[in-house]
Amino acid sequence: MAVFVLVHGGGHGGWCYQFVARRLRAEGHEVYTPSLTGLAEREHLLSPDIDLDMQITDVVKLLHFEDLRDVILVGHSYGGMVITGVADRAADRIDHLVYLDAANPVNGQSLVDVAGPLMLLARQMGRVVDGVELVLFPGNDPMSFYGVTDPDLIEWMKPKLTPHPWKCFEQKLVLDNEDALWAIPRSHIICTSTIDGRDIEALKATSDGRVWDIDTGHDLMITEPEAVTGYLLKIAAL
């Protein structure tokens, strides 16, 4: 049995992994899908203090309080920033890192550094609410960036999406335990449409060639849960 911790991306919550988590549990695996502070069912905790560091701490605390070890830690999109920080702080608890169409940062980078044009566009459409700068507002049709086209999935997602504090995307990642972090095996599951914007050879060099792509939109855990689960099971069997 493997232990999976699935970390969501911007504007989402643990709910976005329902289809994948259900399949992994059916195979006998232990699965955690935390929602980061200020998002989804934790949106009532929104405050000016929420940043990348706090959301990294969310997951580190989960690992410690649930006493999770040998974890396969998965991060989608912005979640790549989070899981990299988590692995830096809790390398002894992580067995494998999986970047799910995710940011793949190095020390000193923010998500704005990694994906500047997209994030700056999101900021232009943001707003300040109760002293907190927020981006990724659901709006009337939030699916263009997430790559979801199925009407039923769109209706399922719309009431669950929540705006995300901009500070999380602007804050730079600080790594203090890089030798242990970069020693953790890693894999990349990406969308075919994002290949052109990635250095695939560099990703393969740091993951023993484990770079797989799925021809779907950015929210691949929602649009292609069977394929995502298949790759996660392959990783668990390594």
Tokens of 137: 């507002």
> Degrees (nearest 5) of the Cα angle 23, 137, 150?
45
Q: What is the pLDDT of residues 136-194, one digit of tens each?
A: 887 655 567 899 999 999 999 999 999 999 999 999 999 999 999 999 999 999 999 88
Q: What is the pLDDT of residue 209?
A: 97
Q: What is the pLDDT of residue 140?
A: 55
Q: What is the pLDDT of residue 226?
A: 98
User: What spatial distance separates the first Cα and last Cα of the chain, rounded to whole Å?
Assistant: 12
Distance (Å, whole) CA 51 – CA 45: 13
Query: Would you mind telling me the total number of residues written for the chain in this entry?
Result: 238
Q: Which residues are identified as catalytic?
A: 77
Instruction: Give the confidence band of 102 by pLDDT, cuts at 50, 70, 90.
Output: very high
Instruction: Give the range among 79-88, 100-109, 115-124, 158-167 with minimum mean pLDDT.
Output: 115-124
Instruction: Give the confidence band of 116 by pLDDT, cuts at 50, 70, 90.
Output: confident
Q: What is the average pLDDT value for the chain, to the nearest integer?
A: 95
Distance (Å, whole) CA 203 – CA 37: 30
> Residue ranges per domain, the chain?
3-236
User: CATH: 3.40.50.360, 3.40.50.1820, 3.90.480.10, 3.30.1330.60. Which one for 3-236?
Assistant: 3.40.50.1820
Cα 216 to its chain centre, rounded Å, is 17
Output DSSP code: residue 74: E
Q: What is the pLDDT of residue 95?
A: 98
Q: What is the pLDDT of residues 27-79, one digit of tens each?
A: 999 999 999 999 999 999 999 999 999 999 999 999 999 999 999 999 999 99
Q: What is the pLDDT of residue 142?
A: 55
Q: What is the pLDDT of residue 60?
A: 98
